[in-house]
């Protein structure tokens, strides 16, 4: 099974798919018409050599993924409730939209750092843990508990049920492409809704790697120590990214299967079994990026060594 450089994300009543040179979104409108958005996109990690180095490329790719995800979500929110116009590409992006996206990403990262870096350390300190290893393990436990609680709340949110179904459809469609199976709803439906490159698995690895890194740093005693922890986040993200990259390429190896198993289990909270109509939307988005030259070349050669990782969110 070749590892193909295709990833995606579930959106409102639709799916976004991305290849090395293009991003496409397919959304089913209220009247059943499928609206699509196609945009060229080449990662800066492919254009600036220094940003494409191992570890470094992880943090850069995360920012790019978040930006593309917000664009796809905005498009899906606008299109999902429309039923009075033909399905056409979106109008030119307003000048202020990138600013709003940047602010949204900054706010999301700020809240993430507060909930998953600062707050667990403060709680552990209040409990009286001072030894480096003990503090690191308890701090990591709180971080993992916050992660599980976050996923559990998402899984129980009724309004998210269909989005989680599209998430499962996105995974199944990429599995089918990687297996060389026919891209039909019935064929895609037969594949697993769990994928080793899922953003859920990535976040789990971030939590695990952070336990190791923060244990070496030790207990934070002031603002400077908290800032040091925050400064280490690009390193933690980069290491987690490289592991996700390797797990996507070697998911059939027994050791790798054992290492990715916990992340796959967390996907039980962030995916649902899709229906055939959801699979059809995932296929519609995938068909628009699958003929990227990089994807075609890897499919023909069955190569994995030069593949660029794409999050399957």
Three-state secondary structure along 173-199?
Answer: HHHHHHHCCCCCHHHHHCCCCCCCCEH
Mean pLDDT, range 53-77, rounded to an integer:
91
Distance CA 198, CA 236 (A): 17
Please tell me the predicted confidence (pLDDT) of residue 270.
95
Please tell me the predicted confidence (pLDDT) of residue 29.
94
Distance CA 190, CA 31 (A): 27
Adjacency order of strands within the sheet including 7-11: 7-11, 14-18, 22-28, 34-40
Structure-block tokens of residue 173: 């469609």
Let me know: does 13 contact 166? Beta carbons within 8 Å. yes
Mean pLDDT, range 251-270, rounded to an integer:
92
SS3 312: strand
pLDDT tens column, 261-298: 999 999 999 999 999 999 999 999 999 998 866 666 65
Let me know: does 285 contact 25? Beta carbons within 8 Å. yes
- Is 49 exposed, middle or buried, given 0-12, 13-18 or 19+ CB atoms closer than 10 A? exposed
Mean pLDDT, range 123-130, rounded to an integer:
90
pLDDT tens column, 208-217: 999 999 999 8
Structure-block tokens of residue 147: 């992660």
| Whole-structure pTM value | 0.84
Per DSSP, 160 falls in state G
pLDDT tens column, 142-192: 999 999 998 999 888 888 999 999 999 999 999 999 899 999 999 999 999
Distance CA 211, CA 218 (A): 10
Distance CA 244, CA 312 (A): 10
Per DSSP, 25 falls in state E
Please tell me the predicted confidence (pLDDT) of residue 290.
86
Percent of the chain with pLDDT over 70: 86
Of 76, 192, 70, give the one whose Cα is nearest residue 62.
70
Mean pLDDT, range 111-137, rounded to an integer:
89
Of 159 and 231, the structure prediction assigns the larger pLDDT to 231
Distance CA 307, CA 295 (A): 9
Please tell me the predicted confidence (pLDDT) of residue 298.
57
pLDDT tens column, 5-36: 788 999 999 999 999 889 999 999 998 999 99
Mean pLDDT, range 246-273, rounded to an integer:
91
Distance CA 114, CA 134 (A): 21
Please tell me the predicted confidence (pLDDT) of residue 1.
44
pLDDT at 196 over 60: yes
pLDDT tens column, 134-156: 999 999 999 999 999 989 998 88
pLDDT band at 84, cuts 50/70/90? low
pLDDT, mean over the chain: 86
Distance CA 48, CA 154 (A): 36
Residue 126, C-beta contacts closer than 8 angstroms, at least 6 positions apart: none
């Amino acid at each position: 099974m070749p590892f193909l450089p295709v990833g995606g994300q579930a959106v409102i009543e639709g799916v976004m798919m991305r290849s090395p040179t293009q991003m496409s979104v397919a959304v089913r409108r209220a009247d059943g018409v499928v609206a699509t958005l196609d945009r060229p996109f080449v990662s800066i990690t492919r254009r600036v050599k220094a940003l494409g180095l191992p570890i470094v490329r992880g943090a850069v790719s995360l920012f790019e993924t978040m930006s593309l995800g917000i664009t796809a979500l905005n498009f899906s929110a606008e299109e999902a409730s429309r039923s009075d116009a033909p399905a056409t590409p979106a109008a030119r992006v307003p000048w202020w939209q990138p600013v709003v996206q940047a602010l949204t990403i900054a706010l999301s990262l700020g809240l993430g750092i507060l909930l998953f870096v600062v707050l667990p350390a403060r709680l552990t300190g209040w409990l009286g843990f001072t030894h480096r290893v003990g503090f690191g393990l308890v701090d990591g436990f709180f971080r993992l508990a916050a992660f599980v609680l976050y996923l559990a709340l998402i899984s129980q949110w009724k309004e998210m049920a269909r989005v989680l179904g599209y998430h499962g459809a996105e995974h199944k469609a990429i599995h089918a492409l990687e297996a060389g199976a026919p891209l039909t709803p019935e064929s895609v439906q037969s594949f697993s809704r769990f994928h080793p490159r899922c953003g859920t698995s990535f976040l789990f690895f971030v939590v695990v790697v952070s336990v190791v890194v923060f244990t070496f740093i030790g207990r934070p005693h002031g603002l400077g120590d908290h800032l040091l922890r925050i400064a280490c986040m690009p390193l933690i993200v980069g290491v987690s990214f490289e592991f996700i990259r390797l797990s996507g390429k070697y998911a059939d190896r027994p050791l790798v299967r054992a290492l990715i198993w916990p992340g796959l289990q967390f996907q039980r909270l962030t995916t649902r079994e899709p229906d055939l109509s959801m699979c059809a939307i995932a296929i519609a988005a995938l068909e628009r990026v699958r003929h990227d030259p990089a994807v075609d070349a890897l499919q023909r050669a069955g190569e994995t060594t030069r593949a660029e990782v794409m999050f399957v969110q």
